[in-house]
Amino acid sequence: MKCLKIALLGLGVASLSACSQLHHVQLSDIDQTQGELTPVSIKVNEIGFDASETARIASDMASSEKDSENLQLVATVLALMNMGPSTGNPVYNDHYADQVMRQIDTQCPSHNLTGLTSVRESTSFGTVSGEVVRVDGYCIN
């Protein structure tokens, strides 16, 4: 019983620790010859969820061997459904990054931008993550 409590405590501490991961950075040149520059900074985020990892954890904690095998099968199917290149966990709203363009329209009505830095990163909290897109640059007035 004492070992079970220690194992559950260890699992709880491990699930509360966070890890940030940088997926992509892209930089461009700054053109100061076209006019006055105003800094622009945009950040949008969405919650991601790793369903296959959740099913794997449930499989490890299942009370019977049959339940564990079924959950492991679910984890494998979910992992196969999400094969291929990816950055971060799948999100519920695939269009969350579309907000970047709306915010650019708001912050830079001239639509003349320079010195753009785009960053794609995520912060993982076990099976849940914060998926972030950030764009910094300068609006040419």
pLDDT, mean of each 10-residue run, the chain (141 residues):
52 54 68 84 85 79 80 75 63 80 88 86 81 88 86
Burial class for 17, CB neighbours closer than 10 Å (0-12, 13-18, 19+) = exposed
Instruction: Count Cβ atoms below 10 Å from residue 65 Cβ, excluding itself.
Output: 8
The beta-strand segments (E) located in the chain are 19-27, 37-49, 113-125, 128-140
Task: Determine the pLDDT at residue 39.
Answer: 92
Task: Determine the pLDDT at residue 11.
Answer: 46
Beta strands 128-140; 37-49: pairing state: antiparallel
